[in-house]
Amino acid sequence: MPAIAVVDYGMGNLRSVAKALAHVAPDEHIVVTADPRVIRAADRVVLPGQSAMPDCMRCLDASGLADVVQEAAATRPFLGICLGLQMLFQSSEEGPTPGLGVLPGRVVRFRDAAMQLPSGVRLKVPHMGWSPVRQARPHPLWAGIADGTRFYFAHSYHPVPKDRAVIAGTADYPTAFTCAIARANIFATQFHPEKSHRAGLRLLANFVAWNGCD
Amino acid sequence: MGLAKRIIPCLDVAEGRVVKGINFVNLRDAGDPVEVARRYDEQGADELAFLDIRASIETRGLLYHMIEAVADQVFIPLTVGGGVNSVDDIRALLNAGADKVSINTAGVRHPGLFEEAAGRYGSQCIVAAIDAKQSAPEAWEVYTHGGRTPTGMDAIEWAREVVARGAGEILLTSMDRDGARTGFDLELTRAIVEAVEVPVIASGGVGSLQDLVDGILEGGADAVLAASIFHYGEFTIGQAKAALAAAGIEIRD
């Protein structure tokens, strides 16, 4: 049985996530799978995702994997990436389909009005590229990664957790938003560690070595 | 500190091989896309762009294999374009490991492709490639088929339209400057940057490091793309970043 299951619910490119994990953990058994039995038996679970949250949720529901993902998020080292983070929350401004509700809070769009800077510069949406991530608190997944290291982002929506204690990292665009969350065995990022060069690979290596304790 | 401006080397590929003089010292095989991509990755490229210049149906499979091979080894964003005609093409490229796919000629012929693609895969991975040529003072016309076919369409209008249809980024190439090494068309860049709310990548005409700086400071570009100044070993990505930093531009170290 695999050590790490990357959940495949039919949304987009999972190859990069699996390959980046294989790169940092060449001896681990990593599978991209839609099989609930394989996901249940895995030691660690990764939930990636791209596109729009309502579409991702519909695909996850249609694939019959919502329950098994919730179960994994309650029991084992669990990593959500991008939409895989957003789906953990209750709702999103992107559409009426509810999220998994593992974490209280919602997902909102960058506000157009807030994008205009006093300097006259207007920030673009999607927020695309490399932004520094402030570590809100120490966590095993930040091990060896300097506070303020840049990670790669490509998104127009971000989470607003109800419980501020789950905030593990923030970035500025132009005001601070939550870009990493941590609670017990769950860690999730709005940025893409699998596309974030050395720092991203280090975060994935930390996940592979993590015992799931905060 | 905020979002860094990006430097994107662009590689022309054909039959799954890099073409057009890649000339690094100590490269075993200058046409090997994985080796070239790795070299740019080591130098600190923020992203890589691949353009399939033949884009023939017979050799498409080679492109997919190439993207897979690069994506297995290089962990920065990859943008792939050239001959993208349908949502099936986009899916195949994303599954191979591309993070973003650029649409050019097919989008002009069938603008609904942008909606369809963004609806299915999200705006963040759909790039509209616009090739523009000056037609009058402060007016530029859209060209397709690698810059050979005029369309009669206004580039600024077209940029607004593709964004309204779901493109999440614009890759803007000046046909007047492409290959000329006299710098970006800054007027064109500025006009498109001001017309849309998505990021704009400036392309076409880079001959010096100052051209990169100008594209960002004067053109207002969010990212700058260049080919020859990097390929021939004239400058490294690191030198380009140092030039940007010296001009007060925020970069990823």
How close, in Å, is residue B125 to chain A by CA atoms? 8
Nearest CA in chain B to A157: B124
Among residues 60-89 of chain B, which lie with CB inside 8 Å of chain A? 68, 71-73, 75-77
Q: Using one digit for the tens of pLDDT, what is the confidence trace for A104-141?
A: 999 999 998 899 998 888 999 999 999 999 999 999 99
A58 touches A97 (CB < 8 A): yes
Q: Is there a domain that residue A214 lies in?
A: no
Q: Which residues of A make CB contacts under 8 Å with B?
A: 12-13, 15-16, 19-20, 23, 50-52, 55, 112, 115, 122-132, 148, 150, 152, 154-156, 172-174, 192, 194-197, 200-201
Per CB-CB distance under 8 Å, the chain B contacts of A158 are none
B126 strand-pairing partners: B101
Which DSSP string corresponds to A29-74?
A: -EEEE--HHHHHH-SEEEE---S-HHHHHHHHHHTT-HHHHHHHHH
The pLDDT of residue A12:
65
Which chain B residues are within 8 Å of A55, Cβ to Cβ?
Answer: 120
Respond yes or no: is residue B12 known to be catalytic: yes
- Return the DSSP state at B5: P
User: Is there a domain that residue A20 lies in?
Assistant: yes
From the candidates A8, A59, A130, which should be mutated to test the interface with B, based on the most B CB atoms within 10 A? A130
What mean pLDDT value characterizes chain A?
94
B202: Cα within 13 Å, side-chain hemisphere = 30
Residue A44: inside a domain = yes
What average pLDDT does the segment B235-251 reach?
A: 97
Instruction: Write down the pLDDT at residue A1.
Output: 56
Between CA B184 and CA B221 the distance in angstroms is 10
Active site residue B253: no
Search chain A and give the residue with CA nearest B120: A51
- In which band, very low, low, confident or very high, does the pLDDT at B30 lie, cut at 50, 70 and 90? confident
**Which comes out higher in pLDDT, residue B29 or B91?**
B91
Strand A30-33 vs strand B200-203: parallel, antiparallel, or unpaired? unpaired
Number of H helices, E strands in chain A: 6, 13
**Given an 8 Å threshold on Cβ–Cβ distance, is B97 in contact with A15?**
yes
Eight-state DSSP code of residue B59: G
Strands (E), chain B: 6-14, 17-18, 48-52, 78-81, 100-103, 126-136, 139-144, 149-154, 169-174, 200-203, 223-226
For residues A96 and A91, give the distance between their C-alpha atoms in angstroms, rounded to a whole number. 7
pLDDT, one tens digit per residue, over B175-192 is 999 989 999 999 999 999
**Is cis: bond before A126, omega within 30 of 0?**
yes
Check residue B57 and give its pLDDT: 78
> Nearest-CA residue of chain B relative to A15?
B97
Tokens of A81: 């990436």
How high does pLDDT run on average in chain B? 93
More confident residue, A53 or B128: B128
pLDDT at position B181: 92
Residues of B in contact with A152 (CB under 8 A): 76-77
Q: What is the mean pLDDT of residues B85-111?
A: 94
- The pLDDT of residue A208 is 97
pLDDT per residue over B117-162, tens digit each?
A: 998 889 999 999 999 999 999 999 999 988 889 999 999 999 999 9
For A152, residues 6+ apart whose C-beta sits below 8 A from its C-beta are A129, A130, A191, A192, A195, A196, A197, A200, B76, B77
pLDDT tens profile A54-89: 888 999 999 999 999 999 999 999 999 999 999 999
Q: Can you give the residue range of the structural domain that contains A76?
A: 4-209
Flag whether A25 is in a domain: yes
Q: How confident is the model at residue A193 (pLDDT cuts 50, 70, 90)?
A: very high
The domain that holds A187 is classified in CATH as: 3.40.50.880
pLDDT score of A121: 86
User: Which of B155, B161, B217 has the alpha carbon at shortest distance from B188?
Assistant: B155
- The band of B24, judged by pLDDT with boundaries at 50, 70 and 90, is low
Provide the edge-to-edge strand list for the sheet that holds A4-7.
Answer: A30-33, A4-7, A44-47, A78-81, A186-189, A176-183, A167-172, A134-135
Closest of B159, B157, B175 to residue B167, by C-alpha: B159
B79 — pLDDT class (breaks 50, 70, 90):
very high
* A121 part of a folded domain: yes
Tell me whether residues B77 and A152 touch, CB distance under 8 A. yes
* Domain total of chain A: 1
Tell me the shortest Cα–Cα distance from B251 to chain A, in angstroms.
Answer: 9
**Residue A114 counted as domain residue:** yes
Decide if pLDDT at B32 tops 70.
Answer: yes
For residue B235, the model assigns a pLDDT of 94
Residues of chain A with C-beta less than 8 angstroms from the C-beta of B72: 19, 23
In one-letter notation, the amino acid at residue A45 is V
Confirm whether A88 is domain-assigned.
yes
Residue A11 lies in a domain: yes
Is the predicted pLDDT of residue A2 greater than 80, yes or no? no
Among residues B131, B185, B214, B222, the one annotated as catalytic is B131
The pLDDT confidence band at residue B17, using thresholds 50, 70 and 90, is confident
Whole-prediction pTM: 0.96
d(CA B90, CA B123): 13
pLDDT exceeds cutoff 90 at A32: yes
The residue of chain B nearest to residue A174, with distances taken between CA atoms, is: B2
Which distant-in-sequence residues (6+ apart) come within 8 Å of A98 by Cβ?
Answer: A57, A90, A91
